[in-house]
Structure formats: structure tokens, C-alpha cells
Amino acid sequence: MDRRTFVRTAISRLSALAIGSVAAGADLSAATFGNQEKFQNENNAVASRAQNNSERTLREYNLVAEPTQFEIPSRGIFEKWLYNGKFPGPEIRAREGERFRLTVKNNLPEGTSIHWHGIPVHNAMDGVPGITQPAIPPGENFVYEFDAVPSGSFLYHSHFGFQPDRGLVGTLIVEEKKAHIQYDREYTLAFSDFLADAPRPLGVGMKAGGGPMLAPPYVTLLINGCPPEAPAVFSVKNGERVRLRLINVSGATIYRIAIGGHPLIVTHTDGRPVEPLRVDALNLAPGERYDVLVEAKDPGAWSIAASPDNDLPPARAVLRYLDSNETQSRQGALPEGLSGGQLLKLEDLRGMDLPEMRKPNRTFNFTLAGGEMKPGGMMSPPGMMTQQWTINGQAYPNAEPIEIHQGEVIRFRLDNQSAMPHPMHLHGHFFRVGNVYKDTTIVWTHSKRVELDFIANNPGSWLFHCHNLYHMEGGMTRVVRYLPA
Ligand code: C2O
Ligand code: CU
Ligand code: CU
């Protein structure tokens, strides 16, 4: 290895350690974010991550996006667009510090792209058509390559129009080298809302019959592709500690999640480790993830349920003890946590890899508003009235970019003046909200201001948007752009 390669590799390792500070320890992370020089190192390291890392183990996956028939037993066969014929798509996994090589083949009748939600990839790998790459044309391939750093529970999805609600979503896991919790087995639970037909913008005349369609016409809610009447079953043994990765891959549905007879011990917010906290239920918005531990010590079959913020019956799955002959009895009842008990409050959580944040160099005040019908919208047919959603009165793409400088600490102050909650997501960065690190956080209606702080340590152009697909496409989107130093 020549000197330049060595330097690059060393910087790259530094980056892996700094970002994957779960394994490296919280002190390193604080040191890394503590001063300006360290920011520079971090930035160089991030830039070098796109380059070759020959000694890293490569995790290669092929993802084919194509029209596929998907059957829900007893409900019928639906024309969806899926990854590798699966819904959700195949789970993508690596160990922290390995490298992903993900080849995407577009067999759809239109362009596509994939976004690796939550992973602070190099900008060119972020998968936003028109911002970080041209859309992948029908019939063509695109190769995404980036380091599996940091560890955590993530998702991936198309970032082209309404394609996620066609079914182009999946889960992505980066396993810790050393977790701060102990467990005997783990499961991923992907929560999704399901459309029978092609997604369309919400608006007047969009509904069959002509009336206003104010919410997407989801027909059911699924956990790992299974409907409530034929639920997915997660087996456990008495005495085990089970890690559940709760991932919301839905287009627009926020859930309250609980498990009959079992408290949830929250261990991670959007993949970042937190001091374990016991609750009875938690809210999970599109794009959000919580990892929880469940202590299996009450044999039987129990209901895992997620009640939505729409009129559909709750999504369901079953937690079943292998050593129990009970199969159906208790799973019929909804968990008490859906309506009572201790609901997780974000402010009660404490992150374990929080950087010591300096005072913000720059603060942006953003008012979230909208819901009115306006003519025209990003994806709407000409002349149609569609629902418009705004940040400071501007609906993307008719909106100014948010301009920041590398090395700054940036604060976004969000004020939701609308009648809907907005799960706001920032690409390419984790932000501090309360005392945790996240990349997506709900701004409730009539809420107090939510403040997000992040370190501008990953240059490029990044989206900041509501992760309700219909709000995002209805204008609640901005580009965050790094200005040249
Ligand atoms: Cu998961 Cu821009 O989104
Ligand atoms: Cu993202
Ligand atoms: Cu929203």
C-alpha cells in the first residue's frame, strides 16, 4: 500500500470510528465533534468514504424493481411494484464497518432511484433524482456503494414520486460490533399501509366518483407483509430477551404500538443507542424506527398491535412462546397499551452517543402549514386541485434552498400550524432532538416548537421533508445546500 492509500484508509477508519461511536465509545464521539479541526477531519473522512476500501468486507445485493402481483390471502391479488417480488423488499444487512454494494435494476415503466434512509452516505449515493443523481431510466442499472456505518435499524425506499406507496420499500440493518444491550434473538417488524391501486395525489376530483380525497385510500395495514387476519408470528422461548426492530415503512400512517402483557424496553431511536427505558406503548411515524427489548416471561400467545391514525383496524402480529400450547387465546384481545399505560415521551429518553453540541451558528425558523386545495402540484395532473403543504409558505419545488456552511452547528426550529402531524426527516445527518439522536421526528399539531440541532459535517445537497409521502409531494420539502467554504 502506498502512502496515499494508507492515509486515505486511516482517515476512513477514523470516520468509521467517529460515526460508529456505539462501538468506539461515547468519549470518542464527543471528542470528534468538539472542535473545528475535528470537524474538518470528519468532513474529509466522509468525502473519502466514497473511495475504495479494499479490505472491507463487501455485502453485495441485487435489487430488481419491477411490476409484481402480490397476494394477500382472503383479500385478493394486487398489482404492485416491488423489489425482488417481495413486500416489503428483501432485508439488507451488514456488520458495522463493512461495505454495501447494491445494484439496482429498473424494470419499471418509469424512472426510479433508492434512498438509504438514515445512513449518512456520501451525497452522490443518497438516491434523490434531480438532486444527487439522474433517475435510473427503465431497463438500466445503478450501483450504490457506501460503508455500513453507523450501526442501526434503517429503511430503504424509492425516492421517485409516489413509488414508495406502490410497494418499493424495505428494511436495512447494520449490526453493532458491540451492542449496549444483551438479547437472545431479534426480529425486524416492518409496518406498512397498503393501497389496492396506484397512488395518486390527494385532492379534489381525485376520488373515484369525483369527491375530494383527503386521505390515501389504504385498504389494510400490514406487519412484514401480513394482514391482521393472517398475522406474522414471532416465536420466543420463555426466559429470553428479544430485540424487536420496529420500522415504519408506511406512506402516511402513524401508529401507536403495544404488545399484550409485555412492556417495551426502548433501546434505540432511529438506530442510535439510548439508555433503556420501559414503556407500555410508543408512536411510530413513517421513516421512524425504535428498537425495543421484550422480556419473555409470560408464556402464551400475545398480540403485537399497532393502531393507526386512520379508520382502519390495527395492524397485528403474534408473539408466541414456543414452549406453550396456547395459540389463539390471548392474541384476540388488543394490548392494553393501545389505549392506556405509559406512552413513550421522546423527552424521557437519553442518547448514549450524543455529541457535545456547541451553540448553534445558524438558526432557521420554519412554520409548517397547509392542507388547502391549490391548483397544480409536483405530481398532479394539470388543472386539478390538490392538497398543498408548505414550509414558511413555500411549496417545493417553488421554494428557496436552505443554505449552510460546512462545520456549522445548525438549528431548525419547527412550528406546526397545521391540523396534521408531520414526521420531519433530514437526509445525510443525524440531529439532536431533546436528549437523543434521530433522523426523523414527529412535529405534532398544536405542539410546542420542536428544535433540531445538527452538525454540518456531510457536504452536498440534502432533502429535508415531511415523511408523509403526500405531504412531501404536496410541497413540504426543501433542499439543504452546503455553500462552498
Ligand atoms: Cu426516507 Cu427523503 O426519505
Ligand atoms: Cu433519508
Ligand atoms: Cu406532513
Closest CA to 334 of 399, 256, 269: 256
> 46 pLDDT exceeds 60?
no
Give the Cα separation of 64 and 82 in Å (integer): 8
301/388 same-domain check: no
Q: Judge if 441 and 322 occupy the same domain.
A: no
In a domain, 145, yes or no: no
Strands (E), 196-271: 203-204, 218-223, 232-236, 241-248, 255-259, 264-269
Please give the pLDDT value at position 220: 98
Same domain, residue pair 247 and 305: yes
55 has pLDDT over 90: no
Within-domain flag for 93: no
Q: List the beta bridge partners of residue 385.
A: 204, 375
Distance (Å) from CA 427 to ligand 1 centroid: 7
The predicted-structure confidence for 348-378, as pLDDT tens digits, reads as follows: 999 998 888 899 999 999 999 998 888 765 6
pLDDT at 446: 78
Mean pLDDT of 218-234: 97
**How many percent of the chain have pLDDT more than 90?**
76
The cell for 58 is 463487501
Task: Tell me: do 332 and 468 sit in the same domain.
Answer: no
The verdict on 427 and 295 lying in the same domain is: no
pLDDT attached to residue 374: 81
Whether 108 and 81 have beta carbons less than 8 Å apart is answered as yes
CA 164 to ligand 1: nearest atom? 1
Highest mean pLDDT pick, 11-20, 78-87, 329-338: 78-87
CA distance 383 to 457: 42
Distance CA 150, CA 166 (A): 29
Query: Is the per-residue pLDDT at 207 higher than 80?
Result: no
Q: What is the torsional sign of CA 38, 40, 44, 46?
A: positive
In single-letter form, the type of residue at position 164 comes to: P
Q: Measured from the CB, is residue 429 less than 6 Å from ligand 1?
A: no
Rounded to whole angstroms, the Cα distance separating 447 from 226 reads: 34
Are 319 and 371 within one domain?
A: no
State the DSSP string of 443-462.
Answer: E-TTPPPEEEEEE--S-SEE
Question: For residue 53, what are the β-bridge partners?
Answer: none
Q: In the prediction, which pLDDT does 53 show?
A: 54
In-domain check, residue 378: yes
By residue range, what is the domain housing residue 300? Answer: 181-350
Of 321, 350, 379, the residue at which a domain comes to its end is 350
Q: Is 427 in the pocket of ligand 1 (CB under 6 A)?
A: yes
Ligand 1 atom having least distance to the Cα of 157: 1
Helix 3-19 / helix 36-48 crossing angle, nearest 10 deg = 110
| CATH code of the domain covering residue 413 | 2.60.40.420
**Integer Cα distance of 91 and 156 in angstroms:** 9
- The sign of the torsion formed by the CA atoms of 342, 344, 348, 353 equals positive
411 lines ligand 1 (CB under 6 A): no
Residues pairing with 454 in the sheet: 410
Q: Tell me the CA distances in angstroms from 286 to 190, 217, 249, 388, one per residue in order.
A: 11, 17, 6, 19
Average pLDDT estimate for 10-18 = 32
Output the pLDDT for position 54.
61
Task: Return the pLDDT at 74.
Answer: 84
Ligand 1 neighbourhood includes 115 CB (under 6 angstroms) = yes
Asked if residue 171 belongs to a domain, the reply is: no
Mark whether 285 and 404 lie in a shared domain.
no
Q: Exposed e or buried b for every residue in 251-260, given b needs 16+ CB within 10 A? A: bbbbbbbbbb
Q: pLDDT tens digits, residue range 441-463? A: 999 997 668 999 999 999 999 99
Placement of cell 412550528 in the chain: 415
Q: What atom of ligand 1 comes closest to residue 155's alpha carbon?
A: 1
**Ligand of minimum distance to the alpha carbon of 439:** 2
Domain shared by 289 and 313, yes or no = yes
Looking at residue 96, what is its pLDDT? 98
Show the cell assigned to 401. Answer: 434552498
Is the residue at 23 inside a domain?
yes
Counting residues of the chain whose pLDDT is more than 70, the rounded percentage is: 84
Q: Is the pLDDT of residue 121 over 90?
A: yes
Residues of the chain by 3-state class (helix, strand, coil), percent to 5: 15, 45, 40
Q: Structurally, how many domains does the chain consist of?
A: 3
Flag whether pLDDT at 1 surpasses 50.
Answer: no
At 22, is the secondary structure helix, strand, or coil? helix
Q: Give yes or no: residues 14 and 43 share one domain.
A: yes
Q: How much is the pLDDT for 372?
A: 84
Ordered strands of the 436-438 beta sheet: 203-204, 385-391, 362-375, 409-416, 450-455, 431-433, 436-438
Q: Do 411 and 390 share a domain, yes or no? A: yes
Query: What is the distance between the alpha carbons of residues 303 and 334, in angstroms, rounded to a whole number?
Result: 6
Higher pLDDT pick, 72 / 380: 72
Residue 204 or 251, more confident = 251
- The answer as to whether 345 is a domain residue is yes
Could you tell me the strand order of the sheet in which 218-223 lies? 218-223, 185-195, 241-248, 289-295, 264-269, 272-279
Q: How confident is the model over 414-424, as a mean pLDDT?
A: 95
Kindly state whether residues 332 and 454 are assigned to the same domain. Answer: no
Query: Among 10-19, 39-48, 251-260, whose mean pLDDT is lowest?
Result: 10-19
Amino acid identity at 29: S
Q: Is residue 35 part of a domain?
A: yes
Q: Which residue has the higher pLDDT, 3 or 446?
A: 446
Ligand nearest, relative to CA of residue 125? 2
366 domain-assigned = yes
